Amino acid sequence: QETARKGKELFVQDLFGGADLDHRLPVTIVNELAWHNLFIRHLLRRPEHHELEGFAAEFTIVNLPSFKADPERHGCRSETIIAVDFARRMVLIGGTSYAGETKKSVFTILNYLLPAKGVMPMHCSVNTTDNDNAAIFFGLSGTGKTTLSADASRTLVGDDEHGWSENGLFNFEGGCYAKMIRLSAEAEPEIHATTKMWGTVLENVVMDPVTRKLDLDDATLAENSRGAYPIHAIPNASATGRCGQPRNLVMLTCDAYGVMPPIAKLTPAQAMYHFLSGYTAKVAGTEKGVKEPTATFSACFGGPFMPRHPAEYGALLRELIAEHGVDCWLVNTGWTSGAYGVGHRMPIKATRALLNAALDGSLKNATYRQDQNFGFMVPTEVAGVDSTILDPRSTWEDGDAYDAQAARLAAMFIENFGKYEDHVAPYVIAAAPRVNEAALARVAAE
C-alpha cells in the first residue's frame, strides 16, 4: 500500500503453478521491478489467452525489494522477509532482489497443498523419451539436476520442480533457472546457448559495459549467477510440461567426502531412507557464505521448501514407487579419488554414461557388488566407464583413510536419521549404512 501511495509503477500478471490441469495453482504476481516480472513469466506456466478471461487467482504474491522489514515491529530476524500466509492466501517478499524467491514461494505453497490431494511435490528435474521412458532426478542446487536433465537424446519436461499425480509427472514451471558461473559451451551447450538468446534474464552475471560481452567465469558480483529462460529455449523441451509415470528415479548427491560410488542401485527401503536423508554438500555459489563444499542433510532434497513433516512426503513417495514399480538409483556427482581438496569432481562424461545405462535398462543385466558401508548394490563394470571409479576405495591412495572417511559419513547418516525413526517403519531404519568401528579405531590410534 505504501508503494502504491508513492505512485510507483507496479507490474502485475496472472500465471499458473503446475502443468497438470487437475492440480495447477492460479496465482497473481505483483512485482516492483520489471525484470522480476519477465523472470517470473519465464519461470511459471503462461496461460492461454482464453484462460485469462475470468482468471481467479488462489494466491497473490507481492514482491517489493525496496520494502525493508523491521525485526522489532514485525517479529522477523532481518530486513529481508519471505512470508507466506495460507489463511489470507498471500505471499510478501521484501528486502531482497533475488528473483528466485518468487518461484520458491510458489513451490512452497504447492508443497503444502498437493499432498492432501495425493499428489507428490518434488524438488527434481524430469526428462522422458518418445516411448514415455520418464525419469525423475532429485537433488539440491549444485548436484546437477539442470545439467543432467538437459540431454539431447531425451525430452526435457522440467529442470527443478515437479508433481507426481495419478496422471503422471508434471512440471510446476514453464522455464529454467540455471546456474551460469563458469558455464561451459562444451560441457553444457544447450544451456550456454541461452545466454545469447533474446529475453533471457541474467542475474549476477558480469558484462563488459563497452563490448557487452559476458564473462561467465567472473564471480565478482556473486558465485550464484543465474540465467532464467522459457523452457522452449531448450531445443528438446516438452511443450506440455507433462509425461507419463516414471520408470526410473535418480537421487543426485554431491559427496564432498569422496566415498560414495558414482552410481548405486537402491531398494525401495533404501530409496526412502536416502530421500529423507537428502545427503549432499553445500556447494560454493549456491549457498550464501559457503566458500567450499561441506556435508549437509536436507530432507526430501529440499528441506527449506517442505512445510509438512518429511515423513509425509517419504510415505507418499514410497507408495508411488511401489505402485508403479520404479527403479531407484543414487548418483554421486561430487568427488572421487579423495575428499574435497584432495580428489576431483566426478567426470560428467562418466556420469552421463552411467545414467544412460540405468535409464535404457542396460544395468538390469550388470554384475553388482554390495557396498560394505552403505549396503546398496554397485555395478562392477559399465560400458564406456573406467571401472576403477566404480569402486571408490580403489581410487584413494590410502585405503585405510577411505575406510575411516566412509565410517565417519555413515555415522553422520545415522545421527541425522535419528529424528525420523519414530515416523518410519523398521525396514526403513534397517536401510541405514553400517559404521566400520574398526576403521575409526585404527585412525584414532595412529
CA distances, 14 to each of 149, 176, 194, 365 (Å) = 28, 19, 25, 49
Same domain? For 306 and 215 the reply is no
In the prediction, which pLDDT does 293 show?
59
How far is 39 from 227, CA to CA, in rounded Å? Answer: 9
Cell of 438: 574398526
127 lies in a domain? no
H-type alpha helices, 292-332: 310-324
171 lies in a domain? no
199: number of Cβ within 10 Å: 12
The CATH number for 289's domain is: 3.90.228.20
* Residue in 248, 224, 272 with CA at minimum distance from that of residue 148: 248
Same domain? For 104 and 6 the reply is yes
Same domain? For 85 and 229 the reply is no
In the prediction, which pLDDT does 64 show?
96
The CATH number for 10's domain is: 3.40.449.10
How far is 138 from 301, CA to CA, in rounded Å? Answer: 7
Count of alpha carbons within 13 angstroms of residue 168, beta-carbon side = 21
Give residue-wise pLDDT tens across range 360-388.
999 999 999 999 999 999 999 999 999 99
Same domain? For 331 and 425 the reply is yes
Q: Is the pTM of this model over 0.85?
A: yes
Same domain? For 278 and 390 the reply is yes
64 lies in a domain? yes
Same domain? For 255 and 320 the reply is yes
The CATH number for 199's domain is: 2.170.8.10
Last residue of a domain, one of 117, 139, 161: 117
Same domain? For 342 and 309 the reply is yes
Same domain? For 438 and 308 the reply is yes
Cell of 282: 553445500
* Residue in 104, 24, 28, 35 with CA at minimum distance from that of residue 65: 35
Last residue of a domain, one of 117, 141, 164: 117
The mean pLDDT values, 10 residues at a time, for the chain of 446 residues are 69 98 98 98 97 96 95 94 97 97 98 98 95 93 81 90 98 94 89 96 97 96 95 93 98 94 97 96 58 79 94 96 97 93 92 96 96 98 96 96 94 96 96 91 71
Same domain? For 83 and 108 the reply is yes
Specify which residues 170 forms β-bridges with: 163, 242
Domain that holds residue 63: 1-117
Burial of 70 (0-12, 13-18, 19+ CB in 10 A): exposed
In the prediction, which pLDDT does 284 show?
57
In the prediction, which pLDDT does 158 show?
93
Same domain? For 192 and 91 the reply is no
Same domain? For 227 and 256 the reply is no
Same domain? For 432 and 409 the reply is yes
How far is 320 from 79, CA to CA, in rounded Å? Answer: 41
272 lies in a domain? yes
Q: What single letter denotes the amino acid at residue 291? A: K
In the prediction, which pLDDT does 248 show?
98
* Cell 552475471, located at residue: 205
Sequence-distant contacts of 191-196: CB under 8 A, at least 24 apart:
191/146, 191/147, 191/150, 191/227, 191/234, 193/233, 194/227, 194/229, 194/233, 194/234, 195/227
In the prediction, which pLDDT does 3 show?
55
23 lies in a domain? yes
What total of structural domains would you count in the chain? 3
